[in-house]
Amino acid sequence: MLEGVRMNKDDIDVVKREIVYEGYFKMLRYNLKYRLFSGQWSELISRDCYNRGNAVCLLLYDPIHDTVVLVEQIRIGAIEYEFDPWLLEVVAGLIDRDEPKEMIAKQEAQEEAGIDVSEVHYIFDFLTSAGASTERVYLYYALIDASKVGGIFGLPSEHEDIKVHVVSSEKAFRWVREGKIKSSMTIIALQWLALNKENLKKNDK
């Protein structure tokens, strides 16, 4: 447990909140003050924050064959960099409809990987880049039989072109160590699997 005084939302004074851009996503601007660790208040500051909504991601793991399902697709956010913008990721999708997050995760598994998932399990949630983004990602896992998984999927209406890969967990872990996987949510999901896969194997028996 952290010691000392802990801050909460009562220690923030939002003077103004405005939408400075609204397209597919939003850009918010906050003018605010916040309490310093000294007990005093900060000066009035301005911060821009990117609001793209929240997301679910789903780790698909086959405990019998010790394999994971990763999907590959082009990502606009990676175009500016020296590596290829086709990224390996876990299944994921925006929470853009009024349905339970578990249902959205199952739908994304079908749309992106052609996999019908009967049950998903919540792991935890996290903020992807809290310094400038509101995005909160809810991580789930599902135990599957990946022996017949593969192919090209994605929704034509969303211009998706997604290739499905089934790889051993050890290869996926090695790709994380070697820096071949650039997606933060995928790195987090695979690191969680590295810590928990033996328990998943036991519980699946």
Q: pLDDT per residue over 47-60, tens digit each?
A: 999 999 999 999 99
Fold of 55-203: Nucleoside Triphosphate Pyrophosphohydrolase (3.90.79)
Cα–Cα distance measured from residue 106 to residue 51, given in angstroms and rounded to the nearest whole number: 24
Indicate whether 1 pLDDT > 50: no
As annotated, the residues of the chain forming the CATH 3.90.79.10 domain(s) are 55-203
Cα–Cα distance measured from residue 108 to residue 91, given in angstroms and rounded to the nearest whole number: 7
Q: pLDDT per residue over 110-129, tens digit each?
A: 999 999 999 999 999 999 99
Q: pLDDT per residue over 59-72, tens digit each?
A: 999 999 999 999 99
> Does 158 participate in catalysis according to the annotation?
yes
pTM value?
0.92
Catalytic residue among 43, 80, 82, 158: 158
Cα–Cα distance measured from residue 11 to residue 41, given in angstroms and rounded to the nearest whole number: 9
Whole-number pLDDT of residue 4: 63
